[in-house]
């Protein structure tokens, strides 16, 4: 269920973009869809929950690192090329970077750490040694 929050934030950010740029739409839209699908698998098929959470966290981490990298490159460009004129853009990109960082980088890192620290549920023991209902040995 926790992946629905970053999916909602990324989806809202995608809808709020004033200019359509197809690489951004594909990457962020795909990440939003992957996170929503992972959350639906956690709810609908608990046996696949662990794998779905790993995939969702990895997708979110990859997109988050990409978004933060692009935002930092934009910061460097605006500060270096435009100087004082680009100060408003630098402020805006810094705000975007600081808002994306917790949802798209810190959250999936914590989720991956948590999933890795929890051992998978042990498989149920085989019923080979237990007698069958009619009292005979199953072998």
pLDDT in tens, 90-138: 888 788 788 878 888 999 999 999 999 986 666 555 555 555 566 565 5
Predicted TM-score (pTM) of the model is: 0.72
Most confident of 6-15, 32-41, 120-129: 32-41
pLDDT bracket for residue 86 (50, 70, 90): confident
Alpha carbon distance 64, 9 (integer Å):
12
Scanning the chain, the segments in alpha helix (DSSP H) are 4-16, 22-44, 49-82, 87-101, 107-117
User: What is the residue extent of each domain of the chain?
Assistant: 4-117
pLDDT of residue 84: 77
């Amino acid at each position: 269920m926790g992946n629905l929050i970053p999916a909602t934030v990324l989806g809202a950010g995608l809808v709020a973009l004033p200019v359509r740029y197809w690489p951004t739409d594909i990457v962020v839209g795909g990440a939003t869809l992957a996170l929503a699908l992972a959350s639906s698998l956690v709810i609908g098929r608990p046996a696949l929950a662990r794998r779905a959470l790993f995939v969702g966290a990895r997708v979110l981490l990859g997109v988050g690192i990409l978004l933060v990298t692009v935002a930092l490159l934009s910061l460097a460009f605006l500060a270096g090329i435009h100087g004082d004129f680009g100060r408003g853009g630098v402020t805006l990109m810094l705000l975007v970077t600081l808002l994306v960082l917790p949802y798209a980088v810190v959250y999936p890192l914590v989720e991956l750490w948590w999933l890795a620290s929890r051992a998978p549920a042990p498989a149920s023991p085989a019923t080979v040694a237990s007698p069958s209902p009619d009292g005979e040995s199953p072998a």
